[in-house]
Amino acid sequence: MEEWMSQQAERKSTAALVAVVDDDPLVRQLFVQALLRKGHLTEGFASASQALQAVASGGHRLVITDIDMPGQSGVWLLAQLQSLPKPPLTIMVTGQDDTRQAIHCLTNGAYDFLLKPVDLVHFVQKVSSALDFIRLAEERRRHQELVEDVAISERWRARQLFLSGIDALIRALEAKDDYTEGHSTRVAVIAEAMAARAKLRPGEVNELITAARCHDIGKIGIPDAVLLKGGRLTTGEYARIKDHPQHGARILEPIFRDMPAVVAAVRHHHERYDGAGYPDGLKGEAVPLYARIISVADAFDAMTSNRIYRRALSGREAVEELQRGAGRQFCPRAVTWFLDVYDEIADVAGGEPWLNMRCERRLEHDIELVLETSEARLPGRLLNLSACGLRVQTALCVAVGQEVRLEMIGLTPIRTLVTWSNPIGPEEATLHQLGLKTIEPSEDYLAYVRSLARPKTERRGRARINYVLPVSLSTAEGVSEQNAVNVSIGGLFLHTRAPLPVGAEIGLRFALPDAGTAPIEAQATVTHRLTVAEALRAEGAIPGMGMAFSALSPADAERLTAFVESRMAETRLRSLLGAAQSRAAAPAADMAAAHRPWRLPAITN
């Protein structure tokens, strides 16, 4: 009996409700009973105002209304129904043979028009036809959404192939010179950090990172004798070097016809704010925003990298050069954005870019800590740390510039200064993410950071794979089945339209494709969302939401890490085998086959 009641409740929640509106109780009861006998869920209403209130708050998909009623008429009800966000189909019923009234109703949104007295067989047929129309429309909408999702996925795969080829060219170019190896990756990372201060949308961040990654691709057309020359360049050689932004734009234009901002950023990343740059001598705000950001990131990495002809500057020295160039060589706003994130991308101890020293395990396990101010003392969770600062999540609300004492288990308490504070989740949430700058960090804290960091030469990419994995999603509204399209040791990215806000806490259950193992159960926090519209604009992303694990058992974390790393090893092995086959078939193409897959900037955990 309980199972039957559950089925009926489920049927009522998904079926199309029918509303019958007539002030005559006999007619109303006759219509309702005729439809109920045919299995249609039907409700009766004595007035237009009652029906409007129910339809506006309920799930009625079809309204059958008399025209001539006391108070508000059926024509009034039709007009009100058409103003709803999802207007139901409406069938008008009247005892007056008035052609003009019928035409008026049909031209203003009515689905059909019936004259009294109504033959019940004919009436039921009309209602069944209208409900069939509703079902077909819903199936057509679902099919359109599916086609839209497939089209986005196919465009994403095609774009990935293009980007992989570009990535291979960049790696081949940087492999010629030990001094510039990894330069484009570092510029992209710095630009991504600056994008948050510039308040760019996810699709725009994706475009910026793509442009930063490709900004020097035009150097592929410059002879090695010029590109790798250790001494001073001649006037002609320098002119050849200055041509690389134009060469890069020409290379990328066929690939990024629908993303002109990427091509423009590559062409103009050597323009100066005072108009003395190249190739077009643009000035001030006429220089594209992405190019102004990349210019600062490019200059900082160049200054802090060794060259044949000079030693690298320290991070602080490079910052002083950027400040001196603000308003002349560099956009003042871009320099300010860089300074805002400098503590996140520079190691205070050595002044080197943060890529040389950063905790890579920030999402693999939780580190509990306590934050204390003069007014309060609350627990928090560590999200990331470096020698110069930390990023934490806590219920403690503090102002930028306020000092916070931070206690971590086993370490000497350290003093920090709040550099930024962002609320997460819905407006009523009390959680905040804080950026904390360390003040004279203790030796044991610095030793702890060094123990978690790897030298630049030993770094490897974050353990993340593109893999379709069925996932059960548990929220307050219930359980739904989704697909993860990106799996990492820190979280998942789901291809879903679920309307969950950033900061929402959800339950996850998924099984790894390993025989004999129990499903993994975890808690996660939604970190970002990407709508279909944003994915269509970005072209390099797919719609969905990213989430970071907030609770995952050590055993499950170990299993997930082993799974991700084994898939990464398999991918690398296939890449190497493909490279070997390519070298055997076409020796000139060997560099294009052995590359690391392009990272999707919009899919982060």
550: Cβ–Cβ under 8 A, 6 or more apart, which residues? 366, 381, 505, 522, 523, 524, 525
Query: Under a CB-based contact definition with an 8 Å cutoff, are residues 212 and 204 in contact?
Result: no
Confidence of residue 600 (pLDDT cuts 50, 70, 90): very low
Whether the predicted pLDDT of 7 surpasses 80: no
- What is 464-593's CATH number, 3.40.640.10, 2.40.10.220, 1.10.150.530, 3.30.70.260? 2.40.10.220
Average pLDDT over residues 275-295: 94
Question: What is the per-residue pLDDT across 343-356, written as a single tens digit (0 to 9) for each?
Answer: 666 533 233 333 33
* Helix runs in 176-281, H state only: 183-197, 202-214, 224-227, 235-242, 244-252, 260-268
What pLDDT, on a 0 to 100 scale, did the predictor assign at position 292? 96
What pLDDT, on a 0 to 100 scale, did the predictor assign at position 344? 63
Average pLDDT over residues 95-121: 84
Average pLDDT over residues 41-51: 89
Integer-rounded Cα Rg, in Å, for the chain is: 31
Average pLDDT over residues 325-339: 93
Q: Please tell me if the domain spanning 15-141 has the same topology as the one spanning 176-351.
A: no
Average pLDDT over residues 17-30: 89
What pLDDT, on a 0 to 100 scale, did the predictor assign at position 3? 46
Confidence of residue 260 (pLDDT cuts 50, 70, 90): very high
State the pTM of this model.
0.42
Q: Which of 126-130, 227-231, 291-295, 338-342 has the highest mean pLDDT?
A: 291-295
Q: How far apart are CA 487 and CA 494, in angstroms?
A: 9
Confidence of residue 275 (pLDDT cuts 50, 70, 90): very high
Whether the predicted pLDDT of 296 surpasses 60: yes
- Outline where DSSP puts E strands in 244-350: none
Whether the predicted pLDDT of 463 surpasses 70: no
What pLDDT, on a 0 to 100 scale, did the predictor assign at position 437? 78
Whether the predicted pLDDT of 357 surpasses 60: no
What pLDDT, on a 0 to 100 scale, did the predictor assign at position 287? 95
Q: What mean pLDDT is reported for the chain?
A: 76
Would you identify the CATH topology of the domain 176-351?
Hypothetical protein af1432 (1.10.3210)
Average pLDDT over residues 429-452: 74
Confidence of residue 310 (pLDDT cuts 50, 70, 90): low
Average pLDDT over residues 89-99: 85
Whether the predicted pLDDT of 72 surpasses 50: yes
Whether the predicted pLDDT of 264 surpasses 70: yes
414: Cβ–Cβ under 8 A, 6 or more apart, which residues? 405, 406, 408, 438, 439, 441, 442, 445
What pLDDT, on a 0 to 100 scale, did the predictor assign at position 599? 33
Confidence of residue 383 (pLDDT cuts 50, 70, 90): confident
Would you identify the CATH topology of the domain 15-141?
Rossmann fold (3.40.50)
What pLDDT, on a 0 to 100 scale, did the predictor assign at position 91? 93
User: Helix 260-268 vs helix 289-303: angle between axes, to the nearest 10 degrees?
Assistant: 40
Query: Under a CB-based contact definition with an 8 Å cutoff, are residues 346 and 353 in contact?
Result: yes
User: What are the sequence ranges of the domains in the chain?
Assistant: 15-141, 176-351, 368-452, 464-593
**Which CATH number is 368-452 given?**
2.40.10.220
Name residue 92's beta-bridge partners.
Answer: 65, 113
